[in-house]
Amino acid sequence: MALLEIRDLHLGMRSFEGEAHVLNGIHLTVERGEIWGIVGETGCGKSLTGLSISRLVSTPPGRYITGSISLEGRNLLTASEPEMQSLRGRRIGMIFQDPTTNLNPAFRVGEQIVDVALHAGGLDPSILGVGAKASRSERKKAARNLAIDMLAKVGIPKAGERIDDYPHQFSGGMRQRVLIAMALIGRPDLLIADEPTTALDVSVQAQILRLLYDLVQEHQLGVLLITHNLGVVAQICTHVAVMYAGNIIESGSVREVFKNPNHPYTTGLLASVPTAKMKRGELQGLPGSVPNLLAPPPGCRFAPRCAAVQPRCTAAIPPSVAVAAHHEVACVLAEPHASAAA
Amino acid sequence: MILRIENVTKDFKVSHGPLARATHFTALKDVSLSVGKGESFGLVGESGSGKTTLTRLILQLDRVSSGRILFDGTDLASLSARDLRHLRSRIQIVFQDPYASLNPRMTVHDIISEPMEIHQDTLGLNARQRTDRVVELLELVGLGGQHLFRFPHEFSGGQRQRIGIARALAVRPEFLILDEPTSALDVSVQAQVLNLLHELQAKLGLTYFFISHDLGVIRYVCDRVALIYRGEIVEQGETERIFEAPESDYARLLLSAMPEPDPDRSPFRPPAASAG
Amino acid sequence: MTTLAEKVPASATSSRWENARRGFYRFRNSWLSIAGLLIVLVLFIIAVIGPSIVPYPEHVAGSVSTATRFQPPSALHWFGTNELGQDVFSLVVAGSQISLLAGLAVVAVGALVGTLVGAVAGYFGGWTDEVLMRLADLKLTVPSLILAMAVAAALGPGILNMVIAISISWWPGYARLVRGEVIAKKEEMFVQAARALGAGTGRILRRHILPNILTPVIIKMSLDMGFAILTVASLGFIGIGVKPPTPEWGSLLSIARTYMPDYWWTAVFPGSAIFLAVFGFNLLGDGLRDVFDPKARR
């Protein structure tokens, strides 16, 4: 059974102008040990996909129209809120973009991690390694030891001393390590990392990516890495899903998708990144901007910006077809047989 | 050389409360560099390296502790308030965050015409002429005059950055400081903005002082580069030379940390392993 | 750019109108805010047209009819009559004018003075800030009602004096709020941008900082309105505000308290009016805060 399976997920988002279809039929399967990069432009729904898995999208204004999200067979969309709370911080870990705002400045780092450890330990006593009948102080002591271990593991030197520091005493990279430690303390099966290195310097980013990669190797986590940085995806991800305006338009193994992109959007996105060989002014980029999701264009949502657009593009959203092993594309160009039949 | 920075040092006094003795923090240490007319000069550094301090010094928002900054041959520190104001119209800046750098309560028209109002005595445009110029600028940056009376929040990030560029160009500057102008944008939009900047430079003969931590962008845009680390310039020279044969450890570190969008060049995977 | 070409507002006004409609949409999502808005609207309408539609305008002017003292609420006298035989409904309706007007004046004067002081203190910092803020702190050490009482007693009764008295105790709250906001806004990128363009102090404060801190000030004004009305009523209650026969909710309540609980209606209706006004303005203020909260902005 797949670790995470998203089937035909549709999410509506109500606003002043009406309801927008912000997720428009997402299919995604993540196995243990896989690192999935979710890429796309701002507003393509990549963060909402991550938030939907831990059910952190507020409803309303959000509304799940159809579809399912299963974590090892258990549908998260129909789970009760207490059930979700027992999953967050335990089986599902989350890391967010900004390490400065996700730690409470008024509490010592240690207290914040110990809280998470106690929460996780309350759900699964084996995490703390103390018996179910352990006293409060025993549990606290175990939680603190676990916190120190985790901080050391994510590469914080002298973790035993630093645990009593306040967040402002840590640099940005170190804070992100603390947040990773927090996300991992409940021994999650699935880690959702939303732009975990965007706020960091490149040298620190390289360290954090190395840390994430090693942790995945060690614990066989499934990871959803949401980012707009194609370089990060190319480096660390095993798989990638390219999103555009609420759809996954191309997905598969990183090497397949990056070396042999089939969807014009993926091609355009990859051509937007300046490379060593390019002369100034040669950068391709993508013309136009993302569509208004309140009134999406008919058929393929990328059609208005697509250089290879054809009349049949506007008829319906093209289905995902496999163009190779571990490589699916939702584009009419990828389905020559279908066009012959029509 | 249009801009010459000679042995500039900048100290900040750090107060530790009324009883403790104040200590000094050196943000820039003996920085020297020069930017030629019409070229694109890149400044690369990570957070806290002192690149923001350096821009503030060039813009005369702060004063140097020692050393000189010469613009077109004149020492900025020697200028009277009036001459400085005049000079300000020749140096403009485009900010990193197109969301925060535009006043949310002002229309696009007011935002772009504001520098023309401030430098009224230099430019001598009346209200009607200013509006015409705003329309002209909007077209120059690829937006179009129909956006004249909209507010910043109605635009996407890339469009806002175009507004920021139009504002910087309003007073016909020669020297443009680009402070991470694309780091808040999506790659596809970044490509559009970089191409726009390239066109504008060719059309208007601008000199660019391009600050970024994205080495890919720097390599694409800049003729020459300086790397700054903890307030000191560790290496500077022709862009290609630095990328092909870095001399300092810091340059090598940065280059190795730069994530390239090529799965075969990942440090995490041996080539041709774990594929599909 | 396709998304923008669809609906282009013709001018800044229509763009502002669009924003207002967007704001009202968020406001509408909370029925409590709507209730607050309705209460406040009704109060203002009553304050404006009330005195001319009351059933017994002569009672408002001060005439008495001892024959009809202390009549309980009836079809003839909806809120009953008081110890002078005056129609309580007429008095409460007419009293809304003084209460609302005085409340508005207090809040407006307090906000104006406080904003000026706070903006100067926050923008210039240093000694200016120290002096102005210590002055504000000094004021905050004295309970506002006591201070207002003292000032009102010194100036003598009357609406204008009462407004001055309360405003003196009112501005420091705004000064502190505005100072904090100005200090925060001063570091915003767009203010830095204006400075880099060469803009002077006056322009930065006027065009960039003040328009962006207006929202919390307006919200505070709306939340304060209720409290201002209450303070006006309190001064009336202890007898140093508006003097009879001018009807004012606080003084109506004050006189009526001697006749409690037998003639409860003389106190209950002015009291309910105060309650309703305070409640309405607070709901409205909360609603406005939700609308203007930048995090809720698109």
SS3 assignment for chain A: CCCEEEEEEEEEEEECCEEEEEEEEEEEEECCCCEEEEECCCCCCHHHHHHHHCCCCCCCCEEEEEEEEEECCEECCCCCHHHHHHHECCCEEEECCCCCCCCCCCCCHHHHHHHHHHHHHHHCHHHCCCCCCCCHHHHHHHHHHHHHHHHHHCCCCCHHHHCCCCHHHCCHHHHHHHHHHHHHCCCCCEEEEECCCCCCCHHHHHHHHHHHHHHHHHHCCEEEEECCCHHHHHHHCCEEEEEECCEEEEEEEHHHHHHCCCCHHHHHHHHCCCCCCCCCCCCCCCCCCCCCCCCCCCCCCCHHHCCCCCHHHHCCCCCCEEEECCEEECCHHHCHHHHHHC
Q: Is C23 exposed, middle or buried (0-12, 13-18, 19+ CB in 10 A)?
A: middle
**Cβ contacts of C189 on chain B, cutoff 8 Å:** 95-97, 100-101
Name which of A15-19, B201-205, C18-22 the model is least confident about: C18-22
Test B47 with A273 for CB contact under 8 angstroms. Answer: no
Per-residue pLDDT at B182 exceeds 80: yes
Mean pLDDT of C73-85: 79
B143/A contact by beta carbon, under 8 A: no
In sequence order, the β-bridge partners of residue B4 are: B34, B70
Determine, for residues A292 and C298 on separate chains, whether the beta-carbon distance falls below 8 Å: no
At C228, list the tokens. Answer: 């201002």
Q: Is B261 on the interface with A (CB under 8 A)?
A: yes
Q: Is the confidence at residue B265, as pLDDT, over 50?
A: yes
Residue B38 burial class via C-beta count within 10 angstroms: exposed 0-12, middle 13-18, buried 19 and up? middle
CA atoms within 13 A of residue A245's CA, in its CB half-sphere: 22
Which structure tokens are listed for B171? 């007073």
Mean pLDDT of chain B: 87
What is residue C3's predicted lDDT score, i.e. its pLDDT? 38
Contact B149 C190 (CB under 8 A): no
Q: Compute the count of residue pairs across chains A and B with CB atoms less than 8 Å apart.
A: 133
Q: What is the pLDDT of residues C32-71, one digit of tens each?
A: 888 888 998 998 888 888 777 878 777 777 777 777 777 7
Q: Is B46's CB within 8 Å of A201's CB?
A: yes
> Does a structural domain hold residue C5?
no
pLDDT top residue among A140 and B122: A140
Helix axes A264-271, B187-204, angle to 10 degrees: 50
Dmax (CA) for chain C in angstroms is: 78
- What is the interface pTM, i.e. ipTM, of the complex? 0.80
Q: Which residues of C touch A292 (CB under 8 A)?
A: 2-3, 6
CB < 8 Å to A238, chain B: 274
Q: How many domains does chain B have?
A: 1
C246 or A140: whose pLDDT is higher? A140
Which residue type does C38 have?
Answer: L
Q: Looking at residue C19, what is its pLDDT?
A: 67
Mean pLDDT of C167-190: 89
Q: Is residue B186 part of a domain?
A: no
- Express as a percent the part of chain B with pLDDT over 70: 96
Task: Indicate if the pLDDT at residue B276 is higher than 70.
Answer: no
Are B105 and C211 in contact (CB < 8 Å)? yes
Q: Is the confidence at residue A222, as pLDDT, over 70?
A: yes
**What integer pLDDT is reported at residue A160 of this predicted model?**
87
pLDDT band for position B241 (50/70/90)?
Answer: very high
Per the structure, the count of domains in chain C is: 1
Task: Evaluate whether residue B64 is within a structural domain.
Answer: no
Is the CB of residue C79 less than 8 Å from the CB of residue C271?
Answer: no
Q: Mean pLDDT, chain A, as a whole number?
A: 87
Range of lowest pLDDT (A49-53, B28-32, C22-26, C89-93)? C22-26
Beta carbon pairs, B and C, within 8 Å: 81
- Mean pLDDT is lowest, of B71-80, B231-240, C259-268, for C259-268
Q: Do B114 and C298 touch (CB under 8 A)?
A: no
**Residue C61 domain flag:** no
pLDDT of residue C16 exceeding 80, the answer is no
Please give the C-alpha separations between residue A94 and each of A109, A150, A223, B83, B182, in angstroms, as whole numbers: 17, 15, 10, 54, 27
φ, ψ (nearest 5 deg) of residue B35: -120, 125
Summarize the confidence of residues B101-119 as an average pLDDT. Answer: 90
B160: contact with C, CB 8 A cutoff: no
- pLDDT category, A263, cuts 50, 70, 90? very high
Write the CB contacts of C186 (distance below 8 Å, at least 6 apart in sequence). C122, C123, C209
- Domain encompassing residue C123: 29-50+79-296
Distance CA A219, CA A222 (A): 9
Of A202, A236, A278, the CB nearest to B257: A202
- Among chain A residues, the shortest Cα distance to C22 is held by A16
Cis amide leading into C245 (omega within 30): yes
Nearest chain A CA: its distance from C2 CA (Å): 7
Mean pLDDT computed over B65-91: 88
Domain extent at residue B112: 99-172
Closest-CA distance of chain A to residue C292, Å: 15
Lowest mean pLDDT among A125-134, A308-317, B48-57: A125-134
In the prediction, which pLDDT does B270 show? 59
In a domain, C14, yes or no: no
Per-residue confidence (pLDDT) for residue B198, from 0 to 100: 92
- Residue pair B53/B10 in contact (Cβ under 8 Å)? The answer is yes
Residue A244, pLDDT score: 93
Residue C241 DSSP label? S
Most confident of A122-131, B5-14, B31-40: B31-40
pLDDT higher than 70, residue A278: yes
Separation between Cα atoms, residue C19 and residue C10, nearest integer Å = 14
pLDDT at position C12: 59
CB A170, CB A10: distance < 8 Å: no
CB atoms within 10 A of CB A100: 14
Cβ-defined contact of B274 to A238 (cutoff 8 Å): yes
> What per-residue confidence (pLDDT) applies to C17?
72
- Top-level class of domain A99-186: alpha beta
Nearest CA among C101, C87, C102 for reference residue C252: C87
- Residues 312-331 on A with a CB inside 8 Å of B are 324-327
Domain assignment present for B147: yes
pLDDT at A338: 47
* CB of B15 less than 8 A from some CB of A: no
Domain boundaries, chain A: 99-186, 243-275+282-341
Evaluate if residue B152 carries a pLDDT over 50: yes
| Predicted local confidence at residue C2, as pLDDT | 36
Q: What is the pLDDT of residues A79-99, one digit of tens each?
A: 888 888 888 878 898 888 776
Residue C23 predicted with pLDDT over 90: no
For residue C298, list chain B residues with Cβ-Cβ distance below 8 A.
153
Q: What is the mean pLDDT of residues B63-74?
A: 91
| Structure token pair of residue C164 | 């001055």
Q: Report the pLDDT value the prediction gives residue A37, as an integer from 0 to 100.
A: 95
Inter-residue contact B92 to B171 (CB < 8 Å): yes
Cβ–Cβ of A289/C1 closer than 8 Å? yes
A10-14, A16-20, C8-12: least confident range: C8-12
**Between residues C61 and C209, the one the model is more confident about:** C209
Backbone angles phi, psi at C174, to 5 degrees: -70, -40
Over residues B155-178, the mean pLDDT reads 91
Q: What is the predicted pLDDT for the residue at A337? A: 52
Q: Which of residues 210-229 of C touch B (CB under 8 A)?
A: 211-212
Q: Are A140 and A114 within 8 A, CB to CB?
A: yes
Residue at B263 is within a domain: no
Highest mean pLDDT among A80-94, A140-154, B160-174, C284-298: B160-174
Q: Provide, as residue numbers in chain A, all residues whose Cβ is less than 8 Å from the Cβ of C22.
A: 16
d(CA A262, CA A272): 16
Q: What percent of chain A has a predicted confidence (pLDDT) above 90?
A: 30
* CA distances (Å), origin A33, targets A237, B106, B144, B265: 10, 50, 49, 21
What does the H/E/C string look like for B109-157?
Answer: HHHHHHHHHHCHHHHCCCHHHHHHHHHHHHHHCCCCHHHCCCCHHHCCH
- Longest CA pairwise span in chain B (Å): 67
B217: nearest CA partner in chain A: A274
Widest Cα–Cα separation across chain A: 72
- Name chain C contacts of A295, Cβ cutoff 8 Å: 6
Query: How far apart are alpha carbons A179 and A102 in whole angstroms?
Result: 8
Q: Is the peptide bond before C261 cis (omega within 30 degrees of 0)?
A: yes
Q: Look at residue C5 in the predicted model and tell me its pLDDT.
A: 37
Structure tokens at A220: 């066989």
Which CATH number characterizes residue C219's domain?
1.10.3720.10
Q: Are A81 and A151 in contact (CB under 8 A)?
A: no
Query: What mean pLDDT do residues B210-236 have?
Result: 91
What is the pLDDT at residue C6?
37
Cis upstream peptide for A60 (omega within 30°): yes
Residues of C in contact with B107 (CB under 8 A): 12, 15
For A:239-278, CB contacts with B below 8 A are 252-256, 258-259, 268-276, 278
- Averaged confidence pLDDT in chain C: 81
Which residue has tokens 């703390």? A128
